[in-house]
Amino acid sequence: MRLNLRWPSRAVGRFEKWIAQRHQERVLAGEITPQGPCPKEDFLQKLARKSRGIPLSDPRVDHAATCPACMRRLLAMRREHHARRQKVMLATAVTACVVIAAIVTVARHEVQKRSSTTNEAVIAETVNLWGAGAFRGQQPGQLQSVSLPAARVRLTIILPRFSSPGRYVVAVTHGSDGNGLITEAASTATNRGQQETLSVDLDLRRAHAGQYYLSTTHERDQASYYYPLQIR
């Protein structure tokens, strides 16, 4: 029958730590007489960093482990080395955070840039009012509903039958009386056969989806004609 006499690793660790502490206290108290001269500073630096290039059989190791002066210097070097490592780790963590923040900022900027580019894209739309009725002010009539996106729109309007040539102001408003202006632009009608057409750029990016009115106003008679507009 074999007996397992090994101590638990935690107990062994505590015991070895206690022995090392007791040895250190005795050395610092001068209770142990060191052998040989004190080693140079660079050797103590290597020993403090626990360099594997130093064999434990080196007599300088035995001296440093039993000399009060060398022991104090070793402990001070260990504290300095530990403090430097903490600073390096902290600096590395801060640098990593800065890099991550920079990457996130650049990525967010790229997303916003793409979104902005998308929002700034001009969408071509055509509204055919050739056979549409309209109303002037509050006068009812047979109306054609118009639909446009909430974006920058390059709008081509085919004006209603018998529309006069000349310059027109095209506007988008909340009300059928011209109140609540969203955007407006002016252009000169171009004759294409029997039809008069307008081409204007309207900025509808600030408009929310809902019901509005599209109006055309001739420069000569200042008569405004309104068409129900659905912004999507």
Cα–Cα dist 145/211, whole Å: 10
Q: Are residues 143 and 71 in the same domain?
A: no
pLDDT at 142 over 60: no
Q: Are residues 71 and 95 in the same domain?
A: yes
Q: Are residues 16 and 115 in the same domain?
A: yes
Structural domain includes residue 3: no
Q: Are residues 20 and 92 in the same domain?
A: yes
CATH number at residue 162: 2.60.40
62: left (phi over 0), alpha (psi -120 to 50) or beta: alpha
Selection from 196, 190, 199, 212 nearest residue 146 by Cα: 212
Domain boundary residue, one of 120, 149, 183: 120
Q: Are residues 85 and 159 in the same domain?
A: no
Q: Are residues 98 and 166 in the same domain?
A: no
Residue 124 to residues 4, 157, 171, 184, 200: CA-CA distances in angstroms? 88, 11, 17, 16, 10
Q: Are residues 94 and 25 in the same domain?
A: yes
Q: Note the pLDDT tens digit of each residue in 186-207.
A: 999 988 888 899 999 999 988 8
In this prediction, residue 203 carries a pLDDT of 92
pLDDT at 17 over 60: yes
Q: Are residues 102 and 113 in the same domain?
A: yes
Q: Are residues 145 and 217 in the same domain?
A: yes
Structural domain includes residue 156: yes
Cα–Cα dist 21/32, whole Å: 14
Q: Are residues 165 and 197 in the same domain?
A: yes
Range of the domain at 169: 122-231
Q: Are residues 166 and 206 in the same domain?
A: yes
Q: Note the pLDDT tens digit of each residue in 94-133.
A: 889 988 988 888 888 887 777 655 556 889 998 888 877 5
Q: Note the pLDDT tens digit of each residue in 35-84.
A: 888 988 888 888 887 767 788 888 888 888 888 888 888 888 888 888 88
pLDDT at 141 over 60: no
Q: Are residues 108 and 145 in the same domain?
A: no
Domain boundary residue, one of 120, 145, 175: 120
Is the pTM higher than 0.75? The answer reads no
Domain boundary residue, one of 77, 97, 120: 120
Considering its fold, how many domains does the chain have in total? 2
